[in-house]
Amino acid sequence: MKHIINEKNSAVKAMLSAYHFEHQDRLAIDTQHNIIYQKDVSGVSLISGGGSGHEPAHFGYVGEGMLSASVSGDLFTPPFPDAILRAIERTDTGAGALLIVKNFASDVEVFTEAKRLAKQKGHHVEMVIVSDDVSVDNKETYSKRKRGVAGTVLIYKILGYFKQHGLSLSELCTIADDLMPHLFTLGVALSSAALPETDPFFSLASNEVYFGVGIHGEKGYRKEPFQSSEQLAIELYNKLKHLHRFKPGEQYAFLINGLGATPLLEQYVFSHDIKRLAHLDKITIDFIKTGTQLSSYNMHGISLSCLKITDPRFKEALRMPVAASHW
Amino acid sequence: MKHIINEKNSAVKAMLSAYHFEHQDRLAIDTQHNIIYQKDVSGVSLISGGGSGHEPAHFGYVGEGMLSASVSGDLFTPPFPDAILRAIERTDTGAGALLIVKNFASDVEVFTEAKRLAKQKGHHVEMVIVSDDVSVDNKETYSKRKRGVAGTVLIYKILGYFKQHGLSLSELCTIADDLMPHLFTLGVALSSAALPETDPFFSLASNEVYFGVGIHGEKGYRKEPFQSSEQLAIELYNKLKHLHRFKPGEQYAFLINGLGATPLLEQYVFSHDIKRLAHLDKITIDFIKTGTQLSSYNMHGISLSCLKITDPRFKEALRMPVAASHW
């Protein structure tokens, strides 16, 4: 596997420098701490981040109407607490900061520590943990994994909208609490991610797919031979349908997310299959978005996120244009 | 190689249907002729298209400030002249239509025929042919290939800006004539594209790259062992520098384009290398954009486009926000 980088250790800083150079009219960079942040923050600061290798997450979502700042760790490695603390210090205008964290133990740990440090310094900080992944492990227990994956981007968008409309830190937490029980994601891989200087995380036969994979090379719950986009769509859709208990007339938002090396044509073919399944169930698609939004480096695969629209403002929040480059 | 599709013959229509469904508030579809077009066209109609497999080209650029319509052929296959004619009929408001065509013999042929048919029906139609690819063949002749590749997207953007500002068909042709001599692109592959039901177009050793490849599996001019992003950047940048004869203080726009399966992290690392080379030459980067803009299905690779900014309005044209989903 070839990777268009120079040195593994310099890749993240080079990427952030290039991204900032393109968007320097509206974004600032803290090169030491790998922070991309808005030049003009108003209201509550929304901060997210995590390991790199998930581009365009997270820096691609920094901008008016979405995130105030992103903090990047190394490839598949969380940032350090002091970097997150710096992001809070750089963007807290007095209205406080909300940390949006994907539910991985190591991410939760560093963000929790950063929150503690920031509170010591007098910042109002809250944390919401996204655990949209409904994959299960492949043992007899079928325990839920509850990782935070692509659905997180929908959370950015909706909270970003409400933050822009002046909601307070505690009001944003309430919105987040309303959203979380209704957001589910499930992914499938056609190949493993392979990071520079690292072997692929799992192997698949040339005709196999792997349902329920994570975004850091975590294994899925079942391998089976690939047949068609529709086969993948039915598996992912039906799992989410079962959890949501779809009823005709209910309103949903869908995110079809390429996992890194998936051609856009394939993402849209899959999106078409999802649309047809939703129509069969007579649910209303309030919002649908297809694209590479939260990737797993160079994985060929796709994930489906589904959010029940329990408040008409959520639909408006998802549809409103934003300044972020990659929404 | 697995492909997330159902049947090869239905993939393009499924993709366009899904894309239209997402953007139905502002875009219309002609499902028979694979046309995506603006609901509200004003001024000259800008039309492009070509084979599918280059997503987000071309439909991703339909919207106020860029294209009025796109016409999609099958995978790596041009659309039929009657489909292009239909696109002209659907979007010509009386101000005429400008066809923007990538320089491949088969594309030029079908667009020329469509232009002839449309003129018979009384439409004012002009055609600009983009031939930005500066690759050469690998024989002794080193004849220039002059294919139309990723730089075409910069042409969409600049002509879309001037069209939006009310320029006439003939004035847009003059702008296009001004731009074309100053636009060059060169690409490199780390793997071949592989279409559904088709073998890869060429093979590379696990450590090899191929300079000068096209976007339909066309071979390049030289293979060599991969070393680093910088090695690729130097080869592509120096070829374009030589053609432009860079002088300190001159202004340029750069497009760094992922060819389909290239992680965004790698695209930005490469972009960072280009930025550093440009700074060494003391040229001014008026505009730089990094992303998958015109792909070659699932090819791992990258292309570099460079446009000399010979008119300050071109910089403004490139920077203005647009409604198109994928710019």
Whole-angstrom distance, CA of residue A190 vs CA of residue A172: 37
Residue type, A53: G
Which one of the listed residues B23, B216, B300, B326 is annotated catalytic? B216
Q: pLDDT band for A138, please (50, 70, 90 cuts).
A: low
Whole-angstrom distance, CA of residue B286 vs CA of residue B254: 8
A20 interaction partners in chain B (CB closer than 8 Å): none
Q: Is B205 on the interface with A (CB under 8 A)?
A: no
Please answer yes or no on whether B15 and A269 come within 8 Å at the CB atom. Answer: yes
Q: Is A302 on the interface with B (CB under 8 A)?
A: yes
Whole-angstrom distance, CA of residue A38 vs CA of residue A36: 7
Please answer yes or no on whether A297 and B206 come within 8 Å at the CB atom. Answer: no
Cα separations in angstroms, B276 against B38, B182, B230, B234, B319: 39, 21, 10, 10, 21
Mean of pLDDT values over A11-34: 98
Per-10-residue mean pLDDT of chain B, 327 residues long, equals 94 98 98 98 97 98 98 98 98 98 97 98 98 82 82 98 98 98 98 93 96 95 97 98 97 98 98 98 98 98 98 98 96
Q: Is B192 on the interface with A (CB under 8 A)?
A: no
Which one of the listed residues B23, B54, B123, B124 is annotated catalytic? B54
Please answer yes or no on whether B263 and A53 come within 8 Å at the CB atom. Answer: yes
Give the range among A176-180, A199-203, B33-37, B68-72 with minimum mean pLDDT: A199-203
Residue type, B186: L
Looking up tokens 């073919």 gives: A269
pLDDT computed for residue B142 by the predictor: 60
Whole-angstrom distance, CA of residue A223 vs CA of residue B25: 39
Q: What percent of chain A has pLDDT over 70?
A: 98
Q: Is B15 on the interface with A (CB under 8 A)?
A: yes
**Is the separation of the CB atoms in A36 and A29 below 8 Å?**
yes
The residues of A that are catalytic are: 54, 216
Catalogue all structural domains in chain A, each as residue range(s) with its CATH number.
10-130 (3.40.50.10440), 182-319 (3.30.1180.20)
Please answer yes or no on whether A264 and B56 come within 8 Å at the CB atom. Answer: yes
A211 interaction partners in chain B (CB closer than 8 Å): none
Burial of A279 (0-12, 13-18, 19+ CB in 10 A): exposed
Which residues, other chains included, contact A62 with Cβ-Cβ below 8 Å and sequence gap of 6+?
Answer: A27, A36, A37, A38, A68, A69, A70, A324
pLDDT computed for residue A75 by the predictor: 97
Which of A268, A284, A294 to mutate to probe the B interface, most B CBs <10 Å? A268
**Number of CB pairs < 8 Å for A and B?**
163
Half-sphere exposure at residue B175, Cβ-oriented, CA atoms within 13 angstroms: 26
Which 26-65 residues of chain A touch chain B by CB within 8 A?
52-53, 55-56, 60
pLDDT computed for residue B143 by the predictor: 72
Q: Is A192 on the interface with B (CB under 8 A)?
A: no
Q: Is the ipTM of this complex over 0.90?
A: yes
Whole-angstrom distance, CA of residue A265 vs CA of residue B54: 8
Count CB neighbours of B186 within 10 A: 29
Q: pLDDT band for A177, please (50, 70, 90 cuts).
A: very high
pLDDT computed for residue B136 by the predictor: 85
Whole-angstrom distance, CA of residue B277 vs CA of residue A55: 24
Q: pLDDT band for A1, please (50, 70, 90 cuts).
A: confident
pLDDT computed for residue B137 by the predictor: 76
Q: Of B16, B21, B228, which has the smallest distance from its Cβ to A6's Cβ?
A: B228
Average pLDDT of chain B to the nearest whole number: 96
pLDDT computed for residue B141 by the predictor: 58
Which of A265, A296, A299, A326 to mutate to probe the B interface, most B CBs <10 Å? A265
Report pLDDT digits (tens) over A214-258.
999 999 999 999 999 999 999 999 999 999 999 999 999 999 999
Strands A35-38 and A69-75: antiparallel
Report pLDDT digits (tens) over B166-176.
999 999 999 99
Burial of B323 (0-12, 13-18, 19+ CB in 10 A): middle
Looking up tokens 């406080």 gives: A96
Three-class SS of residue A16?
helix
Q: pLDDT band for A63, please (50, 70, 90 cuts).
A: very high
